[in-house]
Amino acid sequence: MIRKLYRNYNIPLLLIILTISFFGLIFVYSASSEASIIFRADLESDYFLKRQFMIMLAGIAFMLLLSLFPYQLLKKGQFVLLILFIVFIMLFATLLFADEQNGATSWLFGLQPSEFVKLAIIIYMAAVITNKQSKINNLVESFAAPALVCIFVFLLIYFQNDLGTAALIALIAMALTICSGTKIIKLLLILLGIGVGSSFILFHTISDVQRNRIVSFTENPFDDPLGSGLQLSSSFMALGNGGVEGLGLGASIQKTNGYLPEAYTDFILAVIAEETGVFGVTLVFLLLLSIISIGFYTAWRCKDAFGSLLAVGISCMIGFQALVNLGGLSQRIPLTGVPLPFISYGGSSLLVCLIGAGILLNISLQNRMALDKKRNG
């Protein structure tokens, strides 16, 4: 049995995930070692490294366990209802009792519950869509309940002033709905109408912090490099300083003296670019693209609708999160506070990515075992 598992286990995907996680760990230390001393004199230079390392070990343990846990059990009605119950309890508790950080009230007991909601929504949507396959073209009957759940979840996270995570959940839900097999044209028109209408309403109800981020997105950050443009101007200078080869590991200029705020979280890619140049950034993109591509390939090969949708959802979660982080870093979209998957400092994000990777590994494993069984009769 062990030999059979080893033969069908997706070792390349596992190695890619471990590589990008350890790569992120290196740059969390590089980006945070000075910041931990500058902003918190009572902290040691390796404070953030130690925290991230412990969380990464826990995440890897969860990933390995889930890679052997039959993903089909996640589709059971009792489990889906339990997930929804926990999600709503976590979000309500966060809304009522969470501490405010950087303008958002998203952290409860050191964790960010909205990060775990992304994975919960993927499991919920995949289960509902799979169970409604016979009536999938009836949009009201198939999608009314999940749409209400997603809108409610979106609003609970939105009122925490965490528009970035709320937008990611909306994008993931839309992607899964499009991949459900329903009539695409009618669905796209409905989604377009909802998107335009909600964007207009949200812009007039968002907090001042979020509105300033959207407004500053349209401005030249170098017009106010010490004010509203501080993060982006420092990010651009870091990208320019790195060039092709980079300044060398630990030699970033912008991370020193607080020039680049959030250097080890949202803007960690700017530090990677400054220290390792084009080569380091290309490596990050290739590793992320490999995980996403393997995820979509796994979804394509999977004969089970639930497994296929789970793989699509997890791949979209990682892909959308990377695109939103990169978009904010390069001023293609407003800053959202979304971390770079597997790399940025942040326990909740890293745990969710590794747990999602574990589910993806199990779907791949079961696909390969089914093909192996069919091949050998």
Residue 40 has pLDDT above 60, yes or no: no
User: Which has the higher per-residue pLDDT, 56 or 150?
Assistant: 56
Tell me the torsion sign for CA atoms 358, 324, 269, 109: negative
Residue 225 has pLDDT above 70, yes or no: no
Residue 247 has pLDDT above 90, yes or no: no
Residue 62 has pLDDT above 90, yes or no: yes
Q: What is the mean pLDDT of residues 104-128?
A: 81
Nearest residue to 254 via CA among 243, 276, 239? 239
The pLDDT of residue 163: 77
Q: What is the DSSP letter of 340?
A: P
Q: What is the DSSP letter of 164?
A: H
For the chain, the residue count is 377
Beta bridge partners of 108: 111
Q: What is the mean pLDDT of residues 353-373?
A: 87
User: Which has the higher per-residue pLDDT, 355 or 221?
Assistant: 355
- Burial grade of 21 (CB within 10 A; 0-12, 13-18, 19 or more): buried
Return the top range by mean pLDDT from 156-165, 218-227, 320-329: 320-329
Residue 170 has pLDDT above 60, yes or no: yes
Q: What is the mean pLDDT of residues 315-342?
A: 85
Q: What is the mean pLDDT of residues 195-204?
A: 56
Return the top range by mean pLDDT from 95-104, 162-171, 285-294: 285-294
Question: Cα separations (Å) of 145 from 128, 148, 152, 307?
Answer: 9, 5, 11, 21
User: Which has the higher per-residue pLDDT, 192 or 69?
Assistant: 69
Q: Terminal CA-to-CA distance of the chain, rounded, Å?
A: 17
Nearest residue to 302 via CA among 370, 354, 374, 355? 370
Return the top range by mean pLDDT from 31-45, 169-183, 268-282: 268-282
The pLDDT of residue 294: 94
Nearest residue to 272 via CA among 241, 233, 229, 231? 241
CB 96 within 8 A of CB 56: no
Q: In angstroms, how far is CA 60 from the centroid of its own chain?
A: 16
Q: In the chain, how many domains are there?
A: 1
Residue 255 has pLDDT above 90, yes or no: no
C-alpha to C-alpha distance for 109 and 297, rounded to whole angstroms: 37
Tell me the torsion sign for CA atoms 221, 223, 224, 228: negative
CB 93 within 8 A of CB 108: yes
Question: Cα separations (Å) of 146 from 3, 121, 150, 174?
Answer: 41, 9, 6, 11
User: Which has the higher per-residue pLDDT, 377 or 133?
Assistant: 133
pLDDT band at 233 (very low <50, low <70, confident <90, very high): confident
Q: Can you state the angle between helices 347-375 and 47-66, rounded to 10 degrees? A: 30
Three-state DSSP at 106 gives: strand
Residue 38 has pLDDT above 60, yes or no: no
pLDDT digits (tens, 9 = 90+) for 124-162: 888 888 877 666 666 666 667 777 888 888 888 877 777
pLDDT band at 342 (very low <50, low <70, confident <90, very high): very high
C-alpha to C-alpha distance for 305 and 68, rounded to whole angstroms: 19
Nearest residue to 198 via CA among 174, 228, 216? 174
C-alpha to C-alpha distance for 181 and 356, rounded to whole angstroms: 23
C-alpha to C-alpha distance for 14 and 358, rounded to whole angstroms: 9
User: Which has the higher per-residue pLDDT, 252 or 279?
Assistant: 279
C-alpha to C-alpha distance for 340 and 285, rounded to whole angstroms: 11
Beta bridge partners of 101: 104
The number of beta carbons lying within 10 Å of the beta carbon of residue 276 is: 23
pLDDT band at 288 (very low <50, low <70, confident <90, very high): very high
Q: Which two tokens stand for residue 229?
A: 């443009």
Backbone φ and ψ for 214, nearest 5 degrees, come out as -70, -45
Residue type, 186: K
Q: Which domain holds residue 364?
A: 2-375
C-alpha to C-alpha distance for 71 and 79, rounded to whole angstroms: 12
pLDDT digits (tens, 9 = 90+) for 12-26: 999 999 999 999 999
